[in-house]
Structure 1
Amino acid sequence: MKNLVFLLFGLVILFACNNPKNSANDDTGSNLRTELPENFYKRLEGTIAGKRVVMNLQKVNGDYDGNYFYEGSWLNLSTDTIIGKDSVVLSENSFYDYYFDKDAKQAHLHLKWTGNGFNGSWENGDKTKNFPVRLVEKYPAGSYEFSAGLYEDSTKAFADRTKSPVASISFEYLQARASDESGNWLNNQLKRISGITPGNVDREIGFKKIAEAYFSDYKKEIAEQQKSGPDRGFEEWMNYTNNSQQSISYNGNGFVVIDFLADAYTGGAHGNYSSTMFCLDVQHKKQMILSDVVKIDSNTLQKLLEKNLRKQYNIKPQDEINSVLFDNFLKPNKNFYFNDNGLAFMYNPYEVASYAQGQIVVFIPFNELKAYLVPAFAERIGVK
C-alpha cells in the first residue's frame, strides 16, 4: 500500500503502441547478491529504532513500493531516491498523514542492500531524529516467496497519426515461487484476482486477452465519438489508462493478504482508483470472510470502528463523524485485512468520503477484539 495513489498515477507509457512487454522477475540468484535486481518481492524482518518490524517490499521496473508494521497499523513506503543498484531512499507515509496534511514532511528510510537484507537509518521529516534500521530477508514457516513482474501494452486511437490519443494498460503482478500444492493454489488465486481464469493459462496470454478486449472497447468508443461530427475536443481527454497492481500487506502464519489496486482514467477531470483486499488462508485453501476472523455483531463492530476513526482521524468528542465522512456513522464493509496486531477496514474514494480525502482506513487493535476473535485464527496469528 503503496503511497498507492501517486505510484500508479505516475506510470507512463514506456513502450511503442501495440508492442506488449512482459518484464518478469530476475531475482533468481543467491541471497548474497550485492546488487538488487530490477524486479523482486522481499519479506523482511528486523528493527527500526529498536522496535521489531515486518516489512513487505517489492520493486518493479525500478520503482519501489511496500509497507511495514510493528505495534500498530501499516506504514506505506514508496520510492524517493534511487542511489544505485544496492541503495535507495524510501518515503514513508500513512493514510492518516495524507488526510491531515498533504504537504507534511515525510519520514525517510535510507537503505543499503547487504546481500541478505538492508542496513540503514530512519529519519523523520524535519531531520531532527535519526534511528538505525536493520532488516533481514526471512520466510519462516507459514510465509511464502514471490517474484514480481510487469506486463504493459498500448494502442493508438488513430493508427495513421504520429500524434494520436493512446489507451494504455498495465498489470503489476506477483507469482508464487513454490510449485507445490500451496504455491499452485496461490498462483491460481493471484491469476483470479487479476481477471485471468485459474489453471494452466500463462499469465502473459491472460493479460494479452484482457488488453485486447480493453483496446477493442476503446476503439468502439473512438468510432462512436467520430460519428457525432467534428472533434468537439474529445481528443484532449482520450488518453485512457487502465492500471492494476498486486502487492502484499501480510505474509505469515499460513495467511497471505493481497492488496489489488486498480486505477483508470476514461476522460473527465480525474481518474478513479480503488483497493480490494484479498485475505487468503493458504493453509486451508480458501479466501477468508470476516467471520473467519471475528464473531461479532454489526452494532458492536460499528462502535469500535467509529471509536478508532475518531482517534486516527483526530475527530474531537464534540464533533460529528460527518465532519470527515458523508454520513454521521461508519458501518463495517467486506473490504477488510489484518496483520499480527489488528484488523483494518478499507473504504475507497466516494464510498464514505469525497475523492479528495482519498482512501479511509480504520485500524482496530486486536486488544480491543480479543473477546470476539475466532479461537483458531487467534492461535495462528499469535494473539494471547
Structure 2
Amino acid sequence: MKKTSLIIIILTLVYSCNKEVTIDFIEQQIETSQSAEISIVYPKAEGTEDIANRINTSIQNYIVKQINFSEDSQTKGSIDDAVAKFNYEFSSFKNEFPNDAQQWEAFIDGEVTYRSPEIISIAINSYLDTGGAHGNTTVRFFNFDPQTGKLLTKKELISNTEKLSKLIEHKLIDEVKSKSGNEPVEDLFFGKDFQLPESLGYSDEGLIILYNPYEIASYAQGIIEFTIPFEEVNSFLNRS
C-alpha cells in the first residue's frame, strides 16, 4: 500500500513539473453612457486556469477600486457591478444637484506591454472626473510571474536597489531638465530625497520609469515617463 502511494506521489510530481503553462490575452471592453460616460478596456488572461485566474483577479480588483470612491472602499466584486455602482452614484448626485452640468467620466485602458518567459507586464491607464478643477490620471504597472500568475513586488524585481536608484535618479534629472529647466531633484519630491516610482513597467525597449502626477512634482508637470534600455539595467534586475 505504501509503495503504491509513493508511486502515485512521484507520478503526480512528474506530471506537475511537465505540465505546460499557456497564457494568452483577449481584449475585454465595457462602454456605457447610460448615466456617466464610462469606457473600460483591459486584457483578460486565458489559458492555464489557476494562473489566468490570479492575473485576472489582480487586474479586476484594481479596476474596481479605481472607479469606486464611496465610503465602503469596495475593492472586490465584478467590474460590471462597479460600473453599475458608479452610474448609481452619478444619478444620485444629479438628483441632489439637478442644475449641475458636471458630467462624470471614467476611462480605463489596459494593455500588455511586455512578455518574456520571466515576466508579463501590463499597464493600466485610468482617468476619472467626478467634478473639481480637473480629472485625475493614473498609470499603474502590473508585473506577473508567467509560471504562477503571482503579482511581483518591486523588491522581487530588483536585485540591486541602490545602484538602480542612482541610475534612475540620474536619468530623471536629465529628463526633467530637458522639459522644465534646472529644477533641483529635492523639489521634485517635495523636499524629500529621491524615491523610486510606485511601480515599474517593462517594454520591448527596456525598463519603463513612470511617475504619476502628485507622486512627483506638481500636477502641472503631468506624467513623467522615460525608458532605460535593458543593457543598462539588466544587472540590477532579477527578471527581464
Q: TM-score, normalised by structure 1?
A: 0.47
Aligned match of 2:42 in 166, 170, 173? 173
1:288 aligns to what? 152
Unpaired segments ≥5 residues, structure 2: 1-19, 66-76
- Work out the CA distance in 2 between the residues paired with 1:355 and 1:253: 37
Aligned match of 1:258 in 102, 111, 122? 122
354 and 177 in structure 1: CA distance in 2 versus 1, 3 angstrom threshold:
same
Deviation at 1:152, TM superposition (A): 1.6
SS of the counterpart of 1:223? helix
Deviation at 1:257, TM superposition (A): 0.9
Superimposed CA distance per residue, residues 167-187 of structure 1 (whole angstroms, 9 cap, x where no aligned partner) = 222211222242544334433
Q: Are 2:55 and 2:151, in contact at CA under 8 Å, matched by a contact in 1?
A: no
- Work out the CA distance in 2 between the residues paired with 1:322 and 1:255: 31
Q: In the alignment, does 2:17 pair up with 1:148?
A: no
1:214 aligns to what? 86
Deviation at 1:323, TM superposition (A): 10
2:58 aligns to what? 189
Cα RMSD after superposing both structures: 3.3
Q: Are 1:255 and 1:281, in contact at CA under 8 Å, matched by a contact in 2?
A: yes
- Work out the CA distance in 2 between the residues paired with 1:362 and 1:331: 15
Q: In the alignment, does 2:136 pair up with 1:272?
A: yes
Deviation at 1:308, TM superposition (A): 0.8
SS of the counterpart of 2:217? coil
Superimposed CA distance per residue, residues 173-210 of structure 1 (whole angstroms, 9 cap, x where no aligned partner) = 222242544334433333333339xxxxxxxx923311
1:302 aligns to what? 165
- Work out the CA distance in 1 between the residues paired with 2:177 and 2:47: 44
- Work out the CA distance in 1 between the residues paired with 2:169 and 2:55: 34
Aligned partner of 2:153: which letter?
A: I
Q: Are 1:326 and 1:352, in contact at CA under 8 Å, matched by a contact in 2?
A: yes
Give the number of equivalent residue pairs: 208
- Work out the CA distance in 1 between the residues paired with 2:205 and 2:103: 42
Aligned partner of 2:27: which letter?
A: A
> Greater CA deviation, 175-184 or 212-221?
175-184
Aligned match of 1:349 in 208, 213, 228? 213
Deviation at 1:303, TM superposition (A): 2.4
- Work out the CA distance in 1 between the residues paired with 2:21 and 2:223: 30
Aligned partner of 1:259: which letter?
A: A
Q: Are 1:142 and 1:252, in contact at CA under 8 Å, matched by a contact in 2?
A: no
330 and 219 in structure 1: CA distance in 2 versus 1, 3 angstrom threshold:
same
2:8 aligns to what? none
Aligned partner of 2:45: which letter?
A: A
Higher strand share: 1
- Work out the CA distance in 1 between the residues paired with 2:34 and 2:113: 33
292 and 270 in structure 1: CA distance in 2 versus 1, 3 angstrom threshold:
same
- Work out the CA distance in 1 between the residues paired with 2:27 and 2:236: 36
Aligned match of 2:222 in 340, 353, 358? 358
Deviation at 1:288, TM superposition (A): 0.7
Higher helix share: 2
Where do 1:17-32 residues align within 5 Å?
none
169 and 177 in structure 1: CA distance in 2 versus 1, 3 angstrom threshold:
same
255 and 322 in structure 1: CA distance in 2 versus 1, 3 angstrom threshold:
closer
Q: In the alignment, does 2:95 pair up with 1:223?
A: yes
142 and 342 in structure 1: CA distance in 2 versus 1, 3 angstrom threshold:
farther
Q: Are 1:274 and 1:348, in contact at CA under 8 Å, matched by a contact in 2?
A: yes
Q: Are 2:117 and 2:146, in contact at CA under 8 Å, matched by a contact in 1?
A: no
Deviation at 1:326, TM superposition (A): 6.0
Deviation at 1:278, TM superposition (A): 0.6
Aligned partner of 1:217: which letter?
A: E
Q: Are 1:143 and 1:251, in contact at CA under 8 Å, matched by a contact in 2?
A: no
Superimposed CA distance per residue, residues 140-172 of structure 1 (whole angstroms, 9 cap, x where no aligned partner) = x9884322131122334xxxxxxxxxx222211
